[in-house]
A = this chain, B = another copy of it.
Amino acid sequence: MTHRITVHEVLIAVFQVRTFTAAQGPELAVLLWQRAREPEEGSWSLPGGVLATDEDLSTSARRQLAEKVDVRTVAHLEQLSIFSDPDRVPGDRRIASNFLGLVPISSDPTLPVDTAWHPVARLPATSFDHGTVVRHARTRLVAKLSYTNIAFALAPVEFAMSTLREIYAAALGYQVDATNLQRVLARRKVLEATGRTSPSGKAGGRPPALYRFADASLRVTDEFAALRPPGQA
């Protein structure tokens, strides 16, 4: 155990809201690729790989991700925690920096043959600790949906509130009310009305107004739950 090598790797949990079964409606999905060789042949892994000498973590994440998906479709990428257990993988010691990546519902990038989207609620057998990493990333995403504008990276450029409601419901894992969603996001100035409407669907119904996100980068919108600075009641 003495002259063991330590390498630093990056693992990216890329999420997108996708429809798998028409009955169930859209679900949160994660991008995985299937290992063709040992170790853990056949199991599903997160995109990622070893950090190069002269790149920082997010540069590396983008480079590794490019092998599996067109990175231009990744609307948001941020570093989460680190998995540093010396025995988390066999062989050389690998310290993993875990990233969260988000792809808007409107894009459908072409994938390599070994790569596919999987619903996070029904993960296949995953490699090493990657299942834990995915669940952790999902937990962080759910939390951030409640106090940031992070949904901008899951939504199309313009959208009806009913679409946004479906996106939130899929990502959170429970139903949300489109009315209240609209009001919460409007109050925080996360959402803007475009002033335009979309044609109504085949079953009729009032044509929905179109909205867009005010910002295209992460913003904390509810900084202090309690103990605010004086005068900011």
Give the B-binding residues of A (Cβ under 8 A).
1-2, 4, 6, 8, 51, 53-58, 79, 81-82, 84-86, 93, 95, 97, 143, 145-147, 168, 172, 174-176, 181, 184, 222-230
Q: Are A147 and B6 in contact (CB under 8 A)?
A: no
Q: Are A224 and B146 in contact (CB under 8 A)?
A: yes
Contacts known (A4-B53, A79-B81); A175 close to B86, Cβ less than 8 A: no
Q: Are A227 and B57 in contact (CB under 8 A)?
A: no
Chain B residues within an 8 Å CB radius of A225:
146-147, 222, 225
Contacts known (A8-B8, A79-B82); A145 close to B227, Cβ less than 8 A: yes
Q: Which of B53, B146, B175, B226 contacts A2 (CB 8 A)?
A: B53
Chain B residues within an 8 Å CB radius of A53:
1-2, 4, 6, 86, 93
Q: List 8 A-B contacts (CB under 8 A).
A: A1-B53, A4-B53, A6-B53, A8-B95, A56-B86, A82-B82, A176-B227, A225-B225
Question: How many of these chains are in the complex?
Answer: 2
**CB-based nearest B residue for A53:** B4
CA distance A51 to B82 in the complex (A): 14
Q: How many Å from the CB of A28 to the closest CB on chain B?
A: 15
Q: Are B168 and A227 in contact (CB under 8 A)?
A: yes
